[in-house]
Amino acid sequence: MATSVEGLQADSVGWQSNPNRRGTMAIIQSSIFTILACTWSIQHLNVPSQNDGFWTKLLRRCKWTLLTILLPEFLMAHAVFELTMGLSTMRAMQTAVILSNDREGAANNIRVVYPWWRRKFPWWRGEKVDADNKHQWTLTHSYYANMGGFCVESPQSSVDGRKEDQPCIALTGRQIARYWKHIDLPLLSERAISDKSKADFFTKAIATVQIASLLLSIIVRTARGLDFSQLELITLAFAACGVFTYVARWYKPQNVDTATTVNLRAEADLEQFEKMKAQEYDRFWQAVRHVPGDSERIYEGRIPNDYLPQYLPEYKTLAGILQVHPALFALTIISVVVGSLHLIAWNFQFPTRVEQITWRTAALITATEKS
């Protein structure tokens, strides 16, 4: 019970409903929370170096979250290219296993099994991925390899025991296929890799609820002829990028802290190990800036999160021969699509004419700057 200052008895205070109008602060809080939940939960970073501590890993994830907020199309384009790299790794592994069988004259235990959407009539042919089968190489294995999940120790470290002087060398999927006859790859089932993955289902659930709530709100308001804010439109663009990025990384493990050790075979020597240390990949930023990678770089201890295979096809132009990484085409297409979402607010109401022109100009630049 509460009384007024005049001593008169006031009405009892019970349940008070929220106002039926949305406030500015409520829209801002909901949008920021949705953006943070989306950008944080979709981070599937590569396996860290064995010398990385807690704060190094945390700062690295914060850095990539901030990068996703600033350039959501960058992470989405890289996720799509990671998927193509995973499928390419499966083809390379299939070739390596076949060649190994031909040379050794004996059946190899590893069998490459593609995901159901890459197989023709899998229900009729009886092909399926067995999560407990250690003799299958799946798309999850390809992701695990390309993120630095398999590492090989130096032959010297196994002799003198000084592992800290000879760091474990992370091998990409293509390197595993190339040096297939020189290594003894541990048999890991898809379930074993999933157990190493520590997916943040709670954060993803929160992000899913926030995205569903935002999408439902926009659909209902549009159906009723009501406007929604420009901030909600930007949040919707982030949500769309987050959903497509997560779908592209469906088979990629998350938050894997330690790699699986791969042993060199007896006939492998230190020279083969030194060849494995060559970084035969590009960085996404190098592809964007048209800077070719250097296969003679010194090993840095882990596979970077913007890893791309070295691939620079040549294109004939009026100015001569141009080398462009295919990742740049993927980034261009996705940037145009994501940037075009801002054009939805072309006829939205703005406080002033200047703000409307500024929004339209920025939307056009965002949709066309990469093209």
Closest CA to 91 of 114, 68, 61: 114
pLDDT digits (tens, 9 = 90+) for 164-179: 555 678 888 888 888 8
Q: How far is CA 336 from CA 42, 72, 78, 333, 363, in A?
A: 21, 12, 15, 5, 10
Asked if the model's pLDDT at residue 84 lies above 50, the reply is yes
Q: What is the C-alpha separation between 91 and 289, in angstroms, rounded?
A: 29
pLDDT band at 339 (very low <50, low <70, confident <90, very high): confident
Cβ proximity of 197 and 254 under 8 Å: yes
pLDDT of amino acid 295: 45
pLDDT of amino acid 315: 47
The helix/strand count (H/E) of the chain reads as 14, 10
pLDDT digits (tens, 9 = 90+) for 138-157: 999 999 999 989 988 766 65
* Phi, then psi, of 162 in degrees rounded to 5: -90, 75
**Can you list the positions of beta strands (E) in the chain?**
111-112, 136-137, 150-152, 169-171, 183-184, 260-264, 281-283, 307-309, 314-317, 320-323
pLDDT of amino acid 98: 74
pLDDT, mean of residues 221-237: 87
pLDDT of amino acid 170: 85
pLDDT digits (tens, 9 = 90+) for 181-191: 888 888 888 88
Q: 181: which 2 tokens?
A: 């006859």
pLDDT band at 195 (very low <50, low <70, confident <90, very high): confident
Amino acid letter for position 20: N
- Other beta carbons within 10 angstroms of residue 170's beta carbon come to 27
pLDDT of amino acid 316: 47
Asked if the model's pLDDT at residue 204 lies above 50, the reply is yes
Q: What is the C-alpha separation between 200 and 204, in angstroms, rounded?
A: 6
* Mean pLDDT of the chain, nearest integer: 78
pLDDT of amino acid 1: 46
Amino acid letter for position 117: W
